[in-house]
Structure 1
Amino acid sequence: MKKLLILILFFGLITSCKQQNNFNPRDINFDRDVCFVCLMGLTDQRYNAQAINEFGEVHWYDDIGCLAEEMRDSANWNQWKGNKVQFWIGDASKENTISNWIDAKTAYYDYGKHTPMGYGYSAYYEKPKTDSVYTFEQVLKRINKGFTMRESFIKEKMLMMKENPEKLKMLEKKLENERSKIK
């Protein structure tokens, strides 16, 4: 009887220690959080995204395009995400506040606005009144095929860097990389 009681207490202790996964969106700390891909500081929550894996780890992105870039490296991405991942993205129709999150998989997306890294896709909780509306999966596919505003974004940066040859070369490589994605 004593052994049975100890066994029941042992299993009760083990099951009570099981941690519940928290997939709720996290608030941005604008002084500290940076994009996992490009390492830029997060500044405009209307376009920022986050991915939370089954272990509670968060990867931040300053643009949905950076999320698509990380997901493209499928071996590392699949190892990091584990069995489940939750995506959150800022609602572009709201103000730049730290708790402006919507489920990225159910959001509506449009194309053509200036975004932090120039991919051009904005997310909305409510369907925008525009001719072209995309799903999360469609946006990821379009980014991977090179349907972005990155080329003009990089060219604009190149004009600003014409006095700095090192940075200009780096931007030229990025531009070449973006052009190679177009299929």
Structure 2
Amino acid sequence: MRRKILKVLALAPFALLFTSCEKKISHEHREVHWDRDMCERCKMVVSERNHAAQVINKETGEAYMFDDIGCVILWFKEENITWKDTASIWITDVKTSKWIDARTAHYDTVHQTPMAYGFSANEKKESIVKDSEILNFEEMSKRVLQRGR
């Protein structure tokens, strides 16, 4: 019995070592290097803090930066991104620049965006100006694809 206990105690540090090496993949937005990071699709510098977007591949944890949500949608199509439906998509709120979930954001059509797609994200519907059209992620995506570029 004593031998078994000693064996377990001797192997415990190795077990701890191997379990602590497991890579944890974050699905959260990453730090942005404003005016240095480039849009994955159009290669423009990401500088507008109220229109930036990020896509995180949940399988690998790799992050991709974009200057406009329209670039995200077209990049998914043009690059045939098979994991697009499971990707974490972050976008900055047009008024607060706070990172929000792009799939649950409310989009307006009244702001000029870096690549002129014209869809700005809002965390709350109430923050959208009166007489502006309010779109969900699916409708905004559909319109970007119809417009293309």
TM-score normalised according to structure 1 size: 0.67
**How many Å separate the matches in 2 of 1:142 and 1:114?**
16
Establish whether residue 118 from structure 1 lines up as the match of residue 116 from structure 2. Answer: yes
Number of residue pairs the alignment of both structures matches: 141
**How many Å separate the matches in 1 of 2:12 and 2:84?**
31
**How many Å separate the matches in 2 of 1:84 and 1:49?**
16
- Structure 1 runs not aligned, ≥5 long: 147-176, 179-183
Name the structure 2 match of 1:85.
87
The CA deviation at 1:142 is 1.2
Higher fraction of helix: 1
Q: How does 1:1-183 map to 2 (within 5 A)?
A: 1=4, 9-54=13-58, 55-73=60-78, 75=80, 77-78=81-82, 81=83, 84-94=86-96, 100-127=98-125, 128=128, 129-146=130-147, 178=149
Specify whether residues 50 and 13 from structure 1 end up closer, same or farther in structure 2 by C-alpha distance, changes over 3 A only: same
Contact 2:110 2:132 (C-alpha < 8 Å) held by counterparts: no
Query: Residue 87 of structure 1 aligns to which amino acid in structure 2?
Result: I
Contact 2:35 2:47 (C-alpha < 8 Å) held by counterparts: no
Contact 1:30 1:42 (C-alpha < 8 Å) held by counterparts: yes
Q: Structure 1 residue runs of 4+, over 6 Å off? A: none
**How many Å separate the matches in 2 of 1:116 and 1:82?**
22
The CA deviation at 1:86 is 0.9
The CA deviation at 1:130 is 3.9
The CA deviation at 1:10 is 4.1
**How many Å separate the matches in 1 of 2:109 and 2:85?**
30
**How many Å separate the matches in 2 of 1:57 and 1:50?**
10
**How many Å separate the matches in 2 of 1:82 and 1:103?**
14
Contact 2:76 2:84 (C-alpha < 8 Å) held by counterparts: no
The CA deviation at 1:14 is 2.3
Q: Provide the secondary structure at the position in 1 that maps to 2:94.
A: coil
The CA deviation at 1:13 is 2.8
The CA deviation at 1:122 is 0.5
The CA deviation at 1:135 is 1.0
Q: Which has the higher contact order (CA 8 A, sep 6+)?
A: 2
Name the structure 2 match of 1:164.
none
Q: Provide the secondary structure at the position in 2 that maps to 1:60.
A: strand
